[in-house]
Structure 1
Amino acid sequence: MQDNIENNAEAAAAPTAHTKETMPSLEEMLKASELVAAEHHDAWLRAKAETENMRRRAADDVDKARKFAVENFANELMAVKDSLEAALTVESPSVENMKDGVELTLKQLVAAFGKFNLNEINPVGEKFDPHQHQAIQMIESDQPANTVVTVLQKGYRLHERTLRPALVMVAKGKD
């Protein structure tokens, strides 16, 4: 029985002794923690640098988009300018030839405007809309009140935004 008690005591003491041998020292734990902290700090620095690079690239992309936003439109307008310059180089143009050339050039310009959703506002006969029209004068007319009677200068709209309102004369109400 004495042997059983001693064996049990040794068995109970054995795990403690075994645990003591595998348990790392405080210095080892500190070194391991410092390594983990250094890895996390390195990963944080890399993530911070990547974020800064992405922000800088995005800012560069925005600057380039702003700078070259009208590039395609400018290319279309160059063809119109070339046509106008060609018309001016003709030695002895007739009025009819000049008129035909101007009409073709205007068609080029209208096509360029249409390609980029730059549409004219020509509101004759429409109800006056202060978002698209600028009334210059009210005149007597057989048309209903606040109807556009005359367009002095066409307006232009880019997509849904009015770039320039049409200058118009509007009908007075019949009193």
Structure 2
Amino acid sequence: MVEDLEQITKDLERHVKLAEDRLNQLKYLQADFENYRKWSEKEKASVIALANESLIKDLLVILDDFDQAIPSLEKEENREGLLMIRKKMMKILGEYGLQPIECVGKKFDPHFHEVISKEKCQQESDTILKDFSTGYQLKSKVIRPSKVKIAEQIAENVGDNYGKREDYWD
């Protein structure tokens, strides 16, 4: 009888250990499934964002066409209609996270701007003077940089090279 009790105790310990092992396996499987679910959701969101980005990039051409057409319609009746359509389009694209990059008067930043030309003037160097083509951000990602003209500051002490004036040699 003592031997039977010892055998039952050993069997019970073995079954308890087996149950604990299976419970741990189940916990690992549950954690793996949860990680897979989160990864899958991120991947789905990434695919949607990429598809939205591609579509929005294609629509930027239409916004550019509006921006070019509106100034030429200064005295026409259609101007207000085009302005309304452009505003609605920007509102819808804004709901998807599209924002124009404001740049005139700000410092040049290569992450947001592309320099097309420079102009010598009294303003501080690398200050943006003109925006040739509006840049856009989709949420926090730049999908098209602004094409800009920047200032190139004129030196105050022109001609102090070895005591000679530069314009003397011109």
Aligned-pair RMSD on alpha carbons? Answer: 3.3
Residue matched to 1:137? 117
Q: Which residue of 2 aligns with 1:166?
A: 146
* Equivalent residue number for residue 29 of structure 1: 9
> Please, what TM-score do these two structures have when normalized by structure 2?
0.60
For the pair shown, the structure with the greater C-alpha radius of gyration is 1
The structure with more helix, counted as a fraction of residues: 1
Aligned residue pairs total 136
- The percent of aligned pairs where both chains have the same amino acid is 21
What residue number does 2:79 align with?
99
Three-state SS of the structure 1 residue aligned to 2:84 is helix
Deviations 1:27-76 (A, max 9, x none): 222222222123223323322332333233223322332233479x79xx
Give the TM-score normalised by the residue count of structure 1: 0.59
Amino acid at match of 1:32: L
Structure 1: how far apart are the matches of 2:109 and 2:47?
Answer: 34
The aligned amino acid for 2:38 is A
Pair 1:146–1:70, CA change in 2 (3 A): closer
Cα 1:57–1:131 change in 2 (3 A) is closer
Structure 2 unaligned segments of length 5 or more: list them: 60-74, 156-170
Indicate which of 43, 50, 62 corresponds to 2:30: 50
Correspondent of 1:123 among 86, 100, 103:
103
Q: C-alpha offsets along residues 103-162 of structure 1, whole Å, 9 cap, x if unaligned?
A: 221101221243344221242233333332222221233534322222111112334443
Q: Helix, strand or coil for the counterpart of 2:9?
A: helix
Aligned equivalents of 2:23, 2:126: Cα separation in 1 = 68
Cα offsets for 1:74-102 (capped at 9, x unmatched): 9xx8xx9xxxxxxxxxxxxxx94643332
**Cα distance in 2, alignment partners of residues 103 and 47 from structure 1:** 59
Find the counterpart in structure 2 of residue 83 from structure 1: none
Distance 1:24 1:116, change over 3 A: same
Structure 1: segments with no counterpart, 5+ residues? 1-20, 81-94
Question: What's the CA shift for 1:23?
Answer: 8.8
Q: Quickly say closer, same or farther: Cα 1:29–1:118, change in 2 above 3 A.
A: same
- Decide which moves more: 56-65 or 163-172: 56-65
